[in-house]
Amino acid sequence: MERIRLGLIGAGGMANAVHYPSLAEMPDVELKALCDLDEERLRKTADRFRIAARYTNYRSMLENEQVDAVYALMPPHQLFDPVMDAIERGKHVFIEKPPAITSDQCLQMATAARSRGVHTMVAFNRRFIPVMQKAREMVTAKGDVIQVVSTFYKDYRGQPPYYRGAVDILTSDMIHAVDMLRWMAGAEVVDVVSDVQSRNASYANMFNALVRFENGCVGALLGNWNVGGRRHVFEMHADGISAYCNPDSTVEILADNGQPIVFSAKEVAGSEENRVYYGFAAENRHFVDSLKAGREPQTNFNDAHKTMQLVDLIYRNAWN
């Protein structure tokens, strides 16, 4: 069996919670080398996943190890150089969201990857949630998607943006909801009107937008860090059908004024594990399958750049 050899940069939270456990159970993947600046994390993670080759300098790892692809799982403001170095050495690259600090950085990464002929992927895991895929299939089977809603609410009052403010909230956190508008609508963005506010803070923490897509679909973004608690839910509508989706629990389908049909997220995924029912296992599988097939992954850097451009438009077209 062809095995994809991976060089891994980052032994932090997401690496240990979702990505490396998902990769470790794939017989066609070899976790060949691991790098982290933090020696304790490096040792613990390498021991856990039985990785022999260990580095504290990722450039040494790239020079010494024969790998097909590189995972770079670290905060977005530390990502650009490792990603560009891996691309320049001809490695395929997998990264977490957001892909970059700015859309222009993301464009540079996408351009470099295209000219070097390597495949790339950004971990927009919401697209790979099994129950979301089922909901989308049911809605699109009935007709064109005409209206979508992405909601991302949290009670993070008084909490600064992630990484001591290195990246704004819309780019680092709400980007999941922004990307899902594009995925659910299934078309390119034509126009945006929006409202961005800073409530009791020196940084923006309320993001609401209406997005018009090329196919006529209208998307609504409802994002706020000042509300009662976490709700991350989605709606998809076509003529005569609606999907109300909470991928943490259930999806409810209403069609032709009939009785609602309810699917459990865990049952559809066949697992109680968040890593599986929340799309992390499937996104890693998608990356490996894409490399084996010589195909560009769905959420490649070029596609992620379009999501970053939508983030830009939400800021640029805000009323205030």
Write each residue from 126 to 155 as x if it is in contact with ligand NAD (CB under 6 A), else as -, in one continuous string.
Answer: ------------------------------
| Distance (Å, whole) CA 124 – CA 99 | 10
**Residue for token pair 């009052």:** 157
> Which of 239, 195, 244, 200 lies closest to 217, judged by CA?
239
| Distance (Å, whole) CA 7 – CA 52 | 12
**Residue for token pair 């650009």:** 80
| Distance (Å, whole) CA 307 – CA 170 | 11
| Distance (Å, whole) CA 106 – CA 156 | 27
Q: Does 103 bind ligand NAD (CB under 6 A)?
A: no
> Which of 224, 120, 132 lies closest to 173, judged by CA?
224
Tell me the window of 29-37, 144-152, 187-195, 261-269 that interacts with ligand NAD (CB under 6 A): 29-37
Q: Does 14 bind ligand NAD (CB under 6 A)?
A: yes
Q: Does 10 bind ligand NAD (CB under 6 A)?
A: yes
CB 129 to ligand NAD: min, Å = 11
| Distance (Å, whole) CA 38 – CA 136 | 41
Restricted to residues 152-191, the positions that interact with ligand NAD (CB under 6 A) are 172
CB 179 to ligand NAD: min, Å = 10
Tell me the window of 67-75, 134-142, 146-154, 209-217 that interacts with ligand NAD (CB under 6 A): 67-75
Q: Does 78 bind ligand NAD (CB under 6 A)?
A: yes
Among 32, 91, 92, 97, binds ligand NAD (CB under 6 A): 97
Tell me if residue 11 falls in helix, strand or coil: coil
- Residues in contact with ligand NAD by the rule CB under 6 A: 9-15, 35-38, 41, 58, 73-76, 78, 82, 96-97, 123, 125, 172
